[in-house]
Structure 1
Amino acid sequence: MKITEFLKHNYRHFNAAALIDAADAYKSHVESGKKMLVSLAGAMSTAELGISFAEMIRQDKVQIISCTGANLEEDLMNLVAHSHYERVPNYRDLTPQQEWDLLEKGLNRVTDTCIPEEEAFRRLQQHIFEIWKEAEENGERYFPHEFMYKLIRSGVLEQYYEIDPKNSWMLAAAEKNLPIIVPGWEDSTMGNIFASYCVKGELKPSTMKSGIEYMTFLADWYKNNAGTEGVGFFQIGGGIAGDFPICVVPMLYQDLEYTDVPFWSYFCQISDSTTSYGSYSGAVPNEKITWGKLDIDTPKFIVESDATIVAPLIFAIVLGQ
Structure 2
Amino acid sequence: MSEITKFIKHHYRHFNAAALVDAAQGYVDHLNNGGKMFVTIAGAMSTAELGLSLAEMIRQDKIHGICCTGANLEEDVFNLVAHDFYERVPHYRDLTPADEAGLLSRHMNRVTDTCIPEMEAMRRIENEVLQEWVRADQAGERYFPHEFMYKILLSGQLEKSYQIDPKNSWLLAAAQKNLPMFVPGWEDATLGNMYAGHCISGDVKKVHTVRTGIEYMMELAEWYTNLTKDSSLGFFQIGGGIAGDFPICVVPMLHQDLQREHVPLWGYFCQISDSTTSYGSYSGAVPNEKITWGKLGEKTPKFIVESDASIVAPLIFAYVLGW
Q: Which residue of 2 aligns with 1:242?
A: 244
Q: CA deviation at 1:54?
A: 0.2
TM-score of the pair, normalised by structure 2: 0.98
Q: Deviations over 1:18-63 (max 9, x none)?
A: 0000000001111222111000001000000000000000000000
TM-score of the pair, normalised by structure 1: 0.99
Matched, 1:259 2:251: no
CA distance in 1, matches of 2:200, 2:135: 18
Q: CA deviation at 1:201?
A: 1.3
**Alignment of structure 1 residues 208-223 onto 2, 5 Å:** 208-223=210-225
**Alignment of structure 1 residues 174-185 onto 2, 5 Å:** 174-185=175-186
The answer to whether the 8 Å contact 2:34/2:231 transfers is no
Q: 1:103 to 1:294 in 2, by over 3 A?
A: same
CA distance in 1, matches of 2:262, 2:155: 42
Q: Which residue of 2 aligns with 1:24?
A: 25
**Alignment of structure 1 residues 1-321 onto 2, 5 Å:** 2-203=3-204, 204-227=206-229, 230-321=232-323
**Counterpart amino acid of 1:54?**
A
Q: Any idea what SS the aligned residue of 2:287 has?
A: coil
Q: What is the percentage of aligned positions where both structures have the same residue?
A: 69
Q: Any idea what SS the aligned residue of 2:57 has?
A: helix
| Greater shift in the superposed pair: 201-210 or 158-167 | 201-210
The answer to whether the 8 Å contact 1:83/1:162 transfers is yes
Q: Structure 1: which 5+ residue stretches go unaligned? A: none
The answer to whether the 8 Å contact 1:182/1:241 transfers is yes
Q: Where do 4+ consecutive residues of structure 1 move more than 3 Å?
A: none
Tell me how many residue pairs correspond in the alignment.
321
The answer to whether the 8 Å contact 2:36/2:231 transfers is no
The answer to whether the 8 Å contact 1:228/1:262 transfers is no
CA distance in 1, matches of 2:286, 2:162: 41
Q: Any idea what SS the aligned residue of 1:296 has?
A: coil
Q: CA deviation at 1:229?
A: 5.8
Q: What's the RMSD between the two structures over aligned residues?
A: 0.8
**Counterpart amino acid of 2:183?**
V
CA distance in 2, matches of 1:210, 1:95: 38
Q: Any idea what SS the aligned residue of 2:75 has?
A: helix
CA distance in 1, matches of 2:193, 2:156: 24
**Counterpart amino acid of 2:300?**
T
Q: Structure 2: which 5+ residue stretches go unaligned? A: none
The answer to whether the 8 Å contact 2:55/2:173 transfers is yes
**Counterpart amino acid of 2:282?**
Y
Q: Any idea what SS the aligned residue of 1:286 has?
A: helix
CA distance in 1, matches of 2:117, 2:230: 47
CA distance in 2, matches of 1:229, 1:9: 32
The answer to whether the 8 Å contact 1:141/1:208 transfers is yes
Q: CA deviation at 1:227?
A: 2.4
The answer to whether the 8 Å contact 2:5/2:318 transfers is yes
CA distance in 2, matches of 1:125, 1:272: 32
